Structure 1
Amino acid sequence: MRLPAHRASSAVLAGAYPFLAPGPVEVGVPVGRDVLGGGVFCFDPWSLYEAGELTNPNVLLAGVIGQGKSSLAKSLALRSIAAGRVVYVPGDPKGEWAIVSDAVGGTVLRLGGGSGTRLNPLDVAGTDGTVGRRARLLAAVAAVTLHRSLTAAEQGALDAGLAQAARAVGRPTIRQVVEALTAPDRQRARAEGVLVEDRVADGRELVHGLRRLVSGDLAGMFDAPSTHQIDPSAPMVVLDVSALGTDDDALAVATTCAAGWLEGALASSSAKRWVIYDEAWRLLRHPELVRRMQAQWKLSRAYGIANLLVIHRLSDLDAVGAAGSESRALAEGLLADCSTRIVYRQEPDQLATAAAALGLTEPERQLLPLLPRGTGLWKLPHRTHVVRHVLTAVEAPLVDTDVAMREGR
């Protein structure tokens, strides 16, 4: 019997005939088994960037709960440390990273809950772009607390208040900026053509918003000089914000402030380092935080940073704004700044969003709801792999956050 010939693209045939799939990535730390091509799949964003395989070192990791994305993030951190990299987690909302940090001799700073830890997110003196970084951070935090973007007048008042506080003390705190907003410099205001009464009025709502960090539920964490300094030799630094509970706005503000403090503390470091944003969907709900993240990510290559953004599903990006809006464009820009996209199993109702956001082929789209636990689709600019993550016996108790559920505890 003679069967009719069948024509298809190599992208389609690669799903049925593994020998058409690209060979495994052999540069970097081992991740697991390449399901289609066979062999060990390795990954290191810095090495791949230097080889021209990636346009930037940033990574997006998406997957529904219980599919092993958290285990992948943690084991990638552990293995990267063994390869000489450094790992920072600016906001650990569940307190899951402390055990990982302790295992490698890292540092864990706990915020809130009576810990007494204070971090000054404006403590970035002596680095390039200090004024701009401080202003962007304060504007982002104020926008979250006010639940809206700042007006031009408010931004002007904030810039003036920040400058006034910096002139007074060099390294200002948020508390001192609030005081400057309340009592602006009359002569400076006049020199800028603004009545001091108008400047007070322009900053009034900013004061109400920022007071959450001075006398509200976030007081005592980011409103005074830092009580800790980062040990540059520490392989991992984790900022544990689990004591803040489940208030999404509070966690988003705390993570942003903590990230700002880390950025200032690490500006002079030349180490290749991961910055891991766990449960990042909380940050994506706020356009101003996304705007600030995007600005910082643009500097990743200059500072040797690879950002890892961990979310549940690609539709988390929809929370920023409607299609075509400026807010949505910001989120899509953040995604575009991730050359590596790792997608674990997605529910059927998420397939269209995932395919559109990542530019998936039809076979790749059909594969997503079928992926078993611990197996993900790794999409790089010039190649796609299906990788089964392999945990070692030493890593498993440190990184597997779902073991208690599976054992019925």
Structure 2
Amino acid sequence: MPKTRASASPLYIPRKSSRTQQCAARAEFAAARRQARHAATARKQHAVQGVDPELRATYPASGRPGPASARGGKLRLPAHRMTTATASGAYPFLAEGGLGAEGIFIGRDVHAEAAFCYDPFSLYNSGRLDGFTNPNAVLAGIIGMGKSALAKSIATRAIAHGYRIYVPCDPKGEWTDLAQALGGYTIALGPGLPGRLNPLDAPARPAGVNECDWASEVRKRRLLLLSSLARTVLKRDLRPMEHTALDLALDLVVANAQTRDTVPLLGEIAHTLGNTQLLDSALGEGTGRMGPAAQDLAHALRRLVHGDLSAMFDAPSTVKFDANAPMLSIDLSRLGSAGDDTALVLAMTCASAWMESALADPYGGRRWVIYDEAWRVMRHIGLLERMQAQWKLSRGLGIANLMIVHRLSDLLSAGDAGSRGRVLAEGLLADCSTRIIYRQEPDQLATAASLLGLTGVETQAVSALIKGRGLWKVAGRSFIVQHLLHPAERQLFDTDARMAA
């Protein structure tokens, strides 16, 4: 903007000019003097304010007047789509909102630099996250990346939110100290230990269920348990006559226990299966038919009575299930250390059946059921069927199942492609709306990406994750979360104590 320069010299009027010309000259001189005076005043104001005239506001502070002022919420702009790289430059102050502030604090969202909270019950009840259809979760990560610390942290902080924690199988005994520190208790099972669990214990009848219907439900659960135990030992499916033998033996033992006002035991089932005359008379369709069918079953169940699992499940329970305890874990660290997981699987099957009495209670509150080292039971169809039942009924039972594995390829060890074991294992993964992936080995990335449907960016991120940092996929949304531990938690969850000097 050019500067205005104005000046006025003394008035000179020729002598021979007319009166009219003299008046016009005086008027022009007065106008020039006023212009010079106004220009000097404007320059003085600019010097005092120190504002460049080019930086002056075009409109007053109240905004542009008129209908184009964009005030009153009448602004309408067309939709525009852009990449995240462009959006980060155009809108640098936007960040991922996470899953909300309600729930268990996990740590820090790496990309949003914000707190990350997670609560499957809250997410399911609110309905604000499309595709979140169940509260189940799977946690996978190689050794030493902090997946055990995350699982224990979730359990510890969930108790503060009013949830209860059940650990039906603790193969390494890592949850014992945590359960005792949180006011819960641990049941240790193994040779030479005083703990006894009777898997045939009948759970308390829920309110609103008549006695006849509940007796039928208890019988069905006991038959399912016996079939799972026999199938695990025999390493094959049961034949039709073997199922009939189990039905007859269970009914005979239960009827005898009711007359003596006691509870049925596994030892009595095994003894009845060995008495072929008693089974034939109970069948009522001739003699000599149940002998060959019951022979293998009797020897299979005998392992729980006189074999390496004796004195654990062949006597009345010495402990009582306390549904009000904040945490309950079953320590099976003394089983399966020799490389044979059969004893561990049998013990876990019995313990799971015993623990289901609390899970079936509709007034038991919301609970977490954590399957640690779940890769050890992936090859056993009986346990997979029990886990599938809990996965499918998680909403009705009010439980959130957490399955912990090292690699996603552990799910493929359940059997060949198309086998029942593989279908059950892949079904467990499909019924998990939350997938937490810690770092995987390079040769496992392709399998993880195929099973979880990871994108190329997510697969690359998984390969570069550091300790305590994982990829959370919650109903299709992805987050990179750094798990944060309190110093007290770090000391309580330490699994590397024996590695220190």
State TM-score, norm by structure 1.
0.91
Among 344, 348, 351, the residue aligned to 1:251: 344
Contact 2:195 2:318 in 1 (8 A): yes
Tell whether 2:425 aligns with 1:331.
yes
The corresponding residue for 1:169 is 257
Tell whether 2:286 aligns with 1:211.
no
The corresponding residue for 2:151 is 73
Q: Aligned residues: percent identity?
A: 50
Q: Which whole-Å deviations, capped at 9, do the CAs of 1:342-362 have from their partners, x for residues lacking one?
A: 111111111111111111111
Aligned length: 396
Could you tell me which runs of 5 or more consecutive residues in structure 2 were left unpaired when the two chains were aligned. Answer: 1-80, 206-213
Contact 2:270 2:299 in 1 (8 A): no
Larger Rg: 2
Q: Equivalent residue of 1:198, what SS?
A: coil
Alpha-carbon distance in structure 2 between the residues aligned to 1:361 and 1:222: 48
How much does 1:162 deviate? Answer: 1.8
The corresponding residue for 2:385 is 291
AA at the equivalent of 1:294: Q
CA root-mean-square deviation: 2.3
Among 254, 262, 267, the residue aligned to 2:360: 267
Contact 1:62 1:343 in 2 (8 A): yes
Tell whether 2:224 aligns with 1:132.
no
Distance 1:19 1:371, change over 3 A: farther
Contact 1:149 1:288 in 2 (8 A): no
Alpha-carbon distance in structure 1 between the residues aligned to 2:287 and 2:382: 27
| Higher relative contact order structure (alpha carbons within 8 Å, sequence separation ≥ 6) | 1
Distance 1:64 1:217, change over 3 A: same
The corresponding residue for 1:357 is 451
Contact 1:18 1:36 in 2 (8 A): no
Q: Equivalent residue of 1:119, what SS?
A: coil
Q: Output aligned runs, 1:27-38, within 5 Å.
A: 27-38=102-113
Among 221, 229, 242, the residue aligned to 2:333: 242
Among 160, 181, 191, the residue aligned to 1:82: 160
Contact 1:18 1:37 in 2 (8 A): no
Among 465, 473, 480, the residue aligned to 1:371: 465
Tell whether 2:134 aligns with 1:56.
yes
Distance 1:329 1:75, change over 3 A: same
How much does 1:265 deviate? Answer: 4.2
Tell whether 2:195 aligns with 1:104.
no
Q: Equivalent residue of 1:234, what SS?
A: coil
Distance 1:19 1:204, change over 3 A: farther
Q: Which whole-Å deviations, capped at 9, do the CAs of 1:325-367 have from their partners, x for residues lacking one?
A: 2221111111112111111111111111111111111111111
Distance 1:265 1:85, change over 3 A: closer
AA at the equivalent of 2:264: P
How much does 1:386 deviate? Answer: 1.1
State TM-score, norm by structure 2.
0.75
Alpha-carbon distance in structure 2 between the residues aligned to 1:125 and 1:162: 17
Among 114, 130, 138, the residue aligned to 2:192: 114
Alpha-carbon distance in structure 1 between the residues aligned to 2:360 and 2:110: 39
Q: Which whole-Å deviations, capped at 9, do the CAs of 1:207-241 have from their partners, x for residues lacking one?
A: 11111111000111112211110223211111111
How much does 1:36 deviate? Answer: 1.7
Q: Which whole-Å deviations, capped at 9, do the CAs of 1:111-145 have from their partners, x for residues lacking one?
A: 11422111111212454422222222221121111
Alpha-carbon distance in structure 2 between the residues aligned to 1:296 and 1:177: 26
Could you tell me which runs of 5 or more consecutive residues in structure 1 were left unpaired when the two chains were aligned. Answer: 1-6
The corresponding residue for 2:322 is 231
Distance 1:117 1:346, change over 3 A: same
Q: Which whole-Å deviations, capped at 9, do the CAs of 1:132-179 have from their partners, x for residues lacking one?
A: 222222211211111222222222222222222222215422112112
